[in-house]
Amino acid sequence: MSSSAVNLQSAARGAQDTQEVLAPSSRIHQYELIRQLGSGGMGTVYLARDTRLGRRVAIKLLQTQSPSFTQRFILEARATARCSHENIVIIYEVGEVHGKPFMVLEYLQGQPLQKVVGGQRLPPARVVELMVPVVRALVCAHGEGIVHRDLKPDNILVTDAGSIKVLDFGIAKVLQGDESSSERSRVAPASAAEGLSAELSHLTQNGALVGTLPYMSPEQWGNGVTVDHRTDLWAVGIILFRMLAGRHPLEPLRGPQLAVTAFLDEPMPRLRDVAPDVPVALADVVDRCLLKRKEERFHDATELLRALEAFLPGRYAPELRIDESPYAGLSSFQEADADLFFGRSREIAALVSRIRDRPLMAVVGPSGAGKSSFVRAGLVPALKRSGEPWDAVVIRPGRDPLGALANIVAPLLNSSDSLAQDLKEHHTLVERMRAEPGIVGTVLRGRARRDRRRLLVFVDQFEELYTQVANPQERLAFTACLSGIADDATAPMRVVVSIRSDFLDRVPEDERFMAELGQGLFFLSSLGSDGLRDALVRPAEMAGYRFESPHMVDSMLQHLEATQGALPLLQFAATQLWEQRDTARRLLTQQRYDEMGGIAGALASHADSVLARLPSESRTLVRALFLRLVTPERTRAIVSLEELQELSRDTGQILALADQLVQARLLVVQTGSGAAGATVELVHESLIHQWPTLHRWLDETQDDSAFLDQLRNAARQWHTKGRDSGLLWRGEMVEEAQRFQRRYVGELPQVQLDFLKAVASQAARSTRWRRMLVIGAMVFLSLLVAASAVALVNIRESKQEAEHQAREARKAEVAAQRSLAEAKAEALARQKAQEEEQAAQKKVQEEQQKKLELFQQLREANADYERANDGLTRAVRQARLSERKAKRAKKASDESERRAREDRERALRAVESLQEKLRQEKERQERTIEMGPVPSLYLDKEAK
């Protein structure tokens, strides 16, 4: 048998043994296998669970018995395990089972970069976002003396969580001693390769053809040049070229034709010649990676990383107006602020990945986590630079969620120039949406398909649907419209809602909407310390400023470790610090930070300072205004400017005050579109929790907040219905209103004052009516007493007359008793006579009963006679029939004729006998008749 056949049989036995060992539910140490994920030339990867630590892992098992491959496999594990980096796959354990090596890796869910890109061109910003983590992984690996040597899109994984992982350092090369000392010192210290150099010497020889052809550097093609870390930089350049240009630099060459890469005198095509729209500076970076002489490329991955990071979104300084702050303060980041939005790159990538497969998503998180900024300044710009055409519309439910939806649909339907006509069509559209919730999705999908663009509908502050809309039917109509928009993953529509996590349990009110939303929940936690640091430091750096000391930054972050809503507070403090910056030294100084009270006092001191600058007569109105902008649940309320004007009889005063607070960035006014008016709200919820003055006001009016909400709704309804008296409060609510008026020191809108006045007037009228009823009752009782006295005199006289009449009555009683005795005797006689009469009547009745029974017997006898007569008739008819039959059969048989005669004779005798019986019965009846009268019924039958 040849050696090759022996090797094949050995390999087959090895594969068979492996399959037996790695059957589902089998175990390797504490790992229980679940299923096979895939297999390659060297090994098979299985999904398994770590029964000890309770996590899922991937197990890679070598399926060959070649000692050299086994050793290479072990070296891959050792090399990768030494590179501890967030962008390199983690190795948990290395071992052997049944003589075969295995390693346990972190289990990653996602797609290879090759599948994510799909051969299409990507925008430069998106390309850089994808490749910077790869280069960071190379920096770590090269620092450990490891060269990947097979970097390609298939070895780069984009996880579902949005992170980038570099896989398979399986043919990594540790720099050998024959390289120059300068190169060795630049990649890693000499000690980094100790212990591996001897083991690798017979596995990875200089000049060996190892790698994937389209991504191999000139030195990998065996041109006599040593392979080192710059081989990986070449592969990065090829990947960048393919994503930016949509093709390989040497297209259409394939396979062995790519060997021209090794010809050092023939330069690679320049990126700008293939993709002229790529920024010149970025194209120069790619071209430098693809210089065939490795000495001319970037010196190391760190230098390449610095060059690429300059093109990350937000790394180039945006055009800021003079004195414009790079911080958002208490306001949400908008799409235009995308270059200043930091700390959420991983979450943004994860949501971009998920939203491609989910038509309806919810960004869920606590207050202050930055949900609105995350979508507006993170997700929307990321989608627009992803290579696909995206548009985005933003709405907030407010008090009229259907109206907010109608505002984005109406421009696609209306064509009138009249404001009155627009208002009428807006109202008609809202009613149609309530009856036909699918109309919104139909219109928006039509627009998206017509423009050949994808559309994102962002519903910001989704919890307002429950804090601002009291009617459940209105809420259900709104969620039904959203379901109609995001109904299928293949449609060009996506809906994203942002909702506070403590309101998530309200969504199941609409079961269908919750069933769809439940599959698209994206939980956004508060920013960690690293994210907060980026959000604080990097905007200042982009504007050309820096913090005076690292300790200052650490102190600011330390104050926010356990703070709810840390991001807006940090942004606001940074904004305040920016306004007091040292422009000469371009510094944000510690002295200014201490003077403003640090993070904790920045917001409170600012609000208090604004309040202190207001006139004393305005502070009561400010208190009422802020209390109106907070719901009983202590969340922000969106209030129309018209409703705020009701807080004061002087509408100009309330407008001027609201404008002052907006200028002070404590309030924000949003101008409505379509039929909607301007609305006012607190700039951020952190004011509710972090401003002690407002917190004290809320505590003082805690008992009144619910009553004020009831008063506000009742007064509005009363006023809307033409001030119908039937809508005024009665009973206990009147007493509560009176107590409220006695203790409340704030101002109330005129409508509410009128309502309370009408309630009091109605209560006063009711009191007067009750008083009149009491007086009338007292007069009635007095008259009743006088009448009782007169009646008493009459009773006394009547008593005397009654005594006289009693004596007369006794005399009459004696006479009556005698008459009664006589009447009783007479009655007894009449009773006896009646009893005798009844006995006689009973006897007559008994005789009549006997006669009736006799008549009944006669009737039954008559019936028997009729039945007998019928039988006789039938017998005669039968006899005649037999006679006719006999005559017809006479010639045929004499015997039949004889029998017929006998039958006839017997019939005749029977007739005679029956006639004799009938005659006798008739005579008996005649004798019976002589005994008494015969009923008419019987006589009639006799006549018949």
Averaged over 393-404, what is the pLDDT? 89
**Dist. CA 732–CA 703, nearest whole Å:** 16
**Dist. CA 882–CA 889, nearest whole Å:** 10
Of all residues in the chain, the percent with pLDDT exceeding 90 is 15
Question: Residues 557-573, buried b or exposed e (16+ Cβ, 10 A)?
Answer: bebbeebebbbbbbbbb
Q: Is the peptide bond before 252 cis (omega within 30 degrees of 0)?
A: yes
Residues 468 and 385 in one domain: yes
Structure tokens at 715: 């007064």
Whether the per-residue pLDDT at 936 is higher than 60: the answer is no
Averaged over 808-828, what is the pLDDT? 78
Whether the per-residue pLDDT at 625 is higher than 80: the answer is yes
Whether the per-residue pLDDT at 935 is higher than 60: the answer is no
pLDDT of residue 580: 86
**Dist. CA 329–CA 576, nearest whole Å:** 8
pLDDT of residue 100: 80
Which of the given ranges, 66-75, 258-267, 877-886, 928-937, has the highest pLDDT on average?
258-267
Which of the given ranges, 284-298, 718-732, 783-797, has the highest pLDDT on average?
284-298
pLDDT of residue 188: 36
Of all residues in the chain, the percent with pLDDT exceeding 70 is 82
Q: Quote the mean pLDDT of the chain.
A: 78
637 within domain boundaries: yes
- Residue linked to tokens 């510094």: 587
Domain span at residue 473?
344-526
Q: What's 93's domain CATH number? A: 3.30.200.20
Averaged over 213-223, what is the pLDDT? 87
The annotated binding site for ATP is made up of 60
More confident residue, 796 or 244: 244
Give the model confidence (pLDDT) of 196-213 as tens digits: 333 333 333 333 456 788
Do the Cβ atoms of 540 and 320 come closer than 8 Å? no
pLDDT of residue 244: 92
Q: How confident is the model at residue 417 (pLDDT cuts 50, 70, 90)?
A: low
Whether the per-residue pLDDT at 862 is higher than 80: the answer is no
What one-character-per-residue DSSP string does 416-443 give? ---HHHHHHHHHHHHHHHHH-THHHHHH
Confidence (pTM): 0.60
Residues 506 and 377 in one domain: yes
49 within domain boundaries: yes
- Comparing 56-60, 245-249, 310-314, 351-355, the range with the smallest average pLDDT is 310-314
Do the Cβ atoms of 76 and 95 come closer than 8 Å? no
**Dist. CA 602–CA 597, nearest whole Å:** 6
**Dist. CA 297–CA 484, nearest whole Å:** 54
Give the model confidence (pLDDT) of 360-378 as tens digits: 999 998 877 889 999 999 9
Residues 801 and 900 in one domain: yes
Q: E strands, 532-631, where?
A: 546-547, 587-588
Give the model confidence (pLDDT) of 128-157 as tens digits: 989 999 999 999 989 888 888 889 998 899
Whether the per-residue pLDDT at 659 is higher than 70: the answer is yes
Averaged over 625-635, what is the pLDDT? 81
pLDDT of residue 930: 65
Q: What's 676's domain CATH number? A: 1.10.10.10
Residues 827 and 915 in one domain: yes
More confident residue, 430 or 180: 430
**Dist. CA 418–CA 754, nearest whole Å:** 36
Q: What's 363's domain CATH number? A: 3.40.50.300
Give the model confidence (pLDDT) of 459-470 as tens digits: 998 988 988 888
**Dist. CA 810–CA 748, nearest whole Å:** 85
Q: Active-site residue 150, yes or no?
A: yes
pLDDT of residue 795: 76
Number of domains in the chain: 5
Residues 266 and 119 in one domain: yes
* Residue type for position 129: E
Averaged over 777-782, what is the pLDDT? 76
**Dist. CA 139–CA 303, nearest whole Å:** 9
Residues 423 and 293 in one domain: no
426 within domain boundaries: yes
Q: Which of 50, 150, 300, 339 is catalytic?
A: 150
- Taking alpha carbons only, the member of 329, 565, 354, 363 closest to residue 459 is 363
More confident residue, 309 or 314: 309
More confident residue, 505 or 21: 505
Averaged over 329-345, what is the pLDDT? 82
pLDDT of residue 186: 36
Do the Cβ atoms of 435 and 504 come closer than 8 Å? no
The annotated binding site is made up of 60
Residues 939 and 820 in one domain: yes
